[in-house]
Structure 1
């Protein structure tokens, strides 16, 4: 049996072991889960640059030892210059370049709001310079390029190599770096030093913000200094679904947390505990199709939503959706899904707090645009906007784009607290449902639930096919059984990044904490 890690005090799970080490060091110094997560977020922004960074967005789900969870939405709105007319006659917003970098980067504001929360709930705090020290060190000294980063840099060279500032950092010696080579980011180290000295507010309303605004104007990005200055992260009330095994929480719009919760709510109408592998996959896939229909109808900028999304998770509505699921035949499918690169991370501390966190720049390396003299790679989340007049996600200045990001948590009836999540765009809710089903309902060990082969309904990176893609470790019997049910299947590599980098932490009723990381990533589950 594949073993997870168990510790008596705290646990950290991230998709890069250096980020796990940074967070664990904070916990060992007496820091809390929120401080540890800021340290992990800063480090992974340096060491996993193709998947996240300071120029991206973030979302927090904070689970206190008592009381209701609280969410932090640290996503950014479209710039005040980002109008539909600016992009016409284009039919769609580009995925790369300065015009793709059209939304404010919110993740650093989320770090600040999380630290504000920590100061209100903990008697002591660690200095920001301590939380950012590892990130600064790795940016200056250089990071070991992972195989994942090397593959992304090499495969996307045609899209990225000519973009402003990109090659100076990510194509040293005029080529994509190889796995195991050292990659330095001195300008990014300088930006982190400014944050450590002036505070995180500097990103938006200080010296660093001034440098960013100057660079954005120089590049012709549709974001202004005022857009930066006006940005704030926001507390949110999470959505939840009452499941037979407990209460499951996720993020409200502009994220697709509704989808993840709806999948679990629909599946709770069926007996998955006794399902074989074929029926488990089939039912999760079919519930995914039903849940995505909710997303396409309702999720956009929160101010433009005119329905109570929590009511869509009510038992009566989930009963209705469940009645549409055919356990013997796959429903028609052909809707375009969204790929994306993201990092999920979890921390549980000795004080009883847990954090489920996601940080992303959307596509690998985001827009590919590096803000001059800052080393900050900017996200392309604004590519999720439509340019179609009347579309619910039609671009408008200061409008929030749709987000695939959705960190999850659950309070189970047996006393366990679970924080979990995954990278992978539209794969996130599918992977979350798979982990929850395997671990909670089918009683697989935590690490087995993550390491076992997974699947993805929809596109992988650079692949327009919306088939059901399964890792090659599934048996031929499973492939054939799914085809018999009407699924159009394709085979992925045995350990494919396409199905995401998942992770989970469980706090057990006896106080012990258990963590599992994804062998598809460069991560670790580290406890103390």
Structure 2
């Protein structure tokens, strides 16, 4: 039997959860909810049900993918922030925005005509993982060590993630019965029960005790939205991403610039230089483009058109790097993708922003609330200024490509503001450099700007690539440094490629993930 299902995630347990749904005939959307719930259990530092999510769902024969914005908006009561010069990074006051991800799960299931599995089956893998436990990874230990030094983590956080008074250690067995109970409650009462009733009331009480300004009314009002995806038409391929408040616009600007100038690139150094310089051109525009969809400037509607892209491309020199003071924001995230037996594909991303988000755990929920709202500015003259019901500038942006020859590619990565850069590298390697998706995902990479705990704004290059291209980077006047290979700061990328002759999936060696391809046990309905 021809292979007809695929799943990739940055933790193998989530991949297995998604594949278990696909094998029994479930849709890619149902599989994604199962995996999204499971990865919130086993990668709690990277994401949680107290965070946000974004979807691209591609159904065969449709005009465009379905796009879902499950970004939480700022709460109503923000008066306390008038006293601050900067938003606190951790603790209750960093918990400013609603948790949209579960509303996104419900919206995705509602939009899928073939989704018929009961929630009890979809959430079963997550319940099992939370109740029976799992082995702490190196990635989780690193994040736990970092949060151990943070003062503003609440008692529920300490009780859950420091059960012996110490940070979690790699190899330890960790269980989360409270989160298992939460998923069982949702399986019985429906996903909307996260936002209504006794569970929501307990979240509001925990947030208030930590000093958050989020009220029960804010939680009650949380609602994901179906939105129109962004589209960039390149030569031979249409690329899709999420609109504001995400970085999707920047991901597509970078690809559009590279598409215009790719005839000037032949060697590895040319491609690296071109993508880095295209990134700089796009990020110059962030003050106008990266904010709530109601706050971005008029440029947003024009910037993907050919004249605007040509103007940006003309600013790039292929013989010299532009000086760059860019400071990137950190961000812990998970990106996943699925393909079901009917041909539905999903590109999905879910996050709480910084590792363990606000550091405020819901004691009855077993999860951490996000600190996504710290990306707001307290400068009222900026597009991304803090305001009630406003969405913050969001790093998350899942990607999808439809090739004119029928191929389809779901791809993406975690990595904060490194996401557009890594997306461009993976897409370029596969589309224009004849690499397989596994080669494109695993190849040595780079990151422009600051990342976790770092103050430098230079170009970080993995050692294998730095050894090969260091002299050329100097010649082009890049300010760069080498970092160890397979570095987690480069993100956890992945991809699924679907064509008439091939179904392939890739997972990043920088993660704890797996990419699986197989056959559904149940015939398509």
TM-score (ref. length: structure 1): 0.95
Q: Does the residue aligned with 2:450 lie in a helix, a strand or coil?
A: coil
- Number of the residue aligned with 1:62: 57
| Separation of aligned partners in 2, 1:192 and 1:52 | 15
| 2:245 and 2:391 in contact (8 A); partners too | yes
Report the Cα distance in structure 2 between the residues aligned to 1:308 and 1:463, rounded to whole angstroms.
Answer: 32
Q: Secondary structure at the match of 2:516?
A: strand
Offset of 1:87 from its aligned partner? 2.2
Residue aligning to 1:141: 132
Q: More deviation in 7-16 or 17-26?
A: 7-16
User: 2:507 pairs with 513, 517, 521, which one?
Assistant: 517
Equivalent residue for 2:194? 203
Matched, 1:332 2:323: yes
- Of residues 399-408 and 139-148 in structure 1, the stretch that sits farther from structure 2 once superposed is 139-148
Is 1:430–2:421 an aligned residue pair? yes
Equivalent residues in 2 for 1:115-514, closer than 5 Å: 115-118=109-112, 121-122=113-114, 125-159=116-150, 162-271=153-262, 275-307=266-298, 309-510=300-501, 512-514=502-504
For the pair 1:82 / 2:63, whether they are aligned, the reply is: no
- Residue 527 of structure 1 and its aligned partner are, at CA, apart by 1.6
Given that residues 108 and 200 in structure 1 are in contact (C-alpha distance below 8 angstroms), is that contact kept between their aligned partners in structure 2? yes
Match of 2:516 in 1: 526
Structure 2 partner of 1:3: none
Match of 2:41 in 1: 46
CA distance in structure 1 between the aligned counterparts of 2:296 and 2:170, rounded to whole angstroms:
45
Tell whether the 8 Å contact from 1:150 to 1:177 is kept in structure 2 after alignment: yes
Q: Which range moves more in the overlay, 351-360 or 166-175?
A: 166-175
Q: Contact 1:210–1:225 at 8 Å: present in 2 too?
A: yes
The answer (yes or no) to whether the contact 2:56–2:241 under 8 Å persists in 1 is yes
Using the TM superposition, name which of 177-186 and 343-352 deviates more.
177-186
Deviation per CA, 1:133-170, whole angstroms, max 9, x where unpaired? Answer: 11111111112101100111113321167434211111
Q: CA deviation at 1:474?
A: 1.4
Q: Offset at 1:241?
A: 0.6
CA distance in 2, matches of 1:493, 1:175: 28
CA contact (8 A) 1:237 1:252 kept: yes
Q: Is the 8 A contact 2:147 2:356 kept in 1?
A: no
How much has 1:273 moved relative to structure 2? 8.5
Rounded Cα–Cα distance in structure 2 between residues aligned with 1:477 and 1:215: 52
Shift of 1:310: 4.1
Q: Does the 8 Å contact 2:249/2:289 carry over to 1? A: no
Contact 1:272 1:437 in 2 (8 A): no
Q: Supply the distance in 2 between the matched residues of 1:404 and 1:192 (Cα, whole angstroms).
A: 27
SS at 1:352's partner residue? coil
- In the other structure, the counterpart of 1:11 is 6
TM-fit CA distance, 1:308: 6.0
Shift in Å at residue 274 of structure 1?
5.1
1:391 deviation in Å? 1.7
Distance in 1 between residues matched to 2:310 and 2:244, nearest whole Å:
23
Q: 1:151 to 1:337 in 2, by over 3 A?
A: same
Contact 2:288–2:300 under 8 Å retained in 1: no
**Distance change (3 Å), C-alpha of 1:13 and 1:89:** same
Once the two structures are TM-superposed, the CA of residue 306 in structure 1 deviates from its matched residue by: 4.1
Describe the shift of the 1:275–1:342 C-alpha distance in structure 2 as closer, same or farther (beyond 3 A). Answer: same
Q: Is the 8 A contact 1:160 1:166 kept in 2?
A: no
TM-score, normalization by structure 2: 0.96
Distance 1:310 1:352 in 2: 32
Deviation at 1:298, TM superposition (A): 2.2
Q: Does the CA contact (< 8 Å) of 2:50 and 2:369 recur in 1?
A: yes
> Which of 473-482 and 250-259 deviates more?
473-482
Q: Is 1:25 matched with 2:20?
A: yes
Match of 2:98 in 1: 104
Give the conservation status (yes or no) of the 8 Å contact 2:44–2:367.
Answer: no
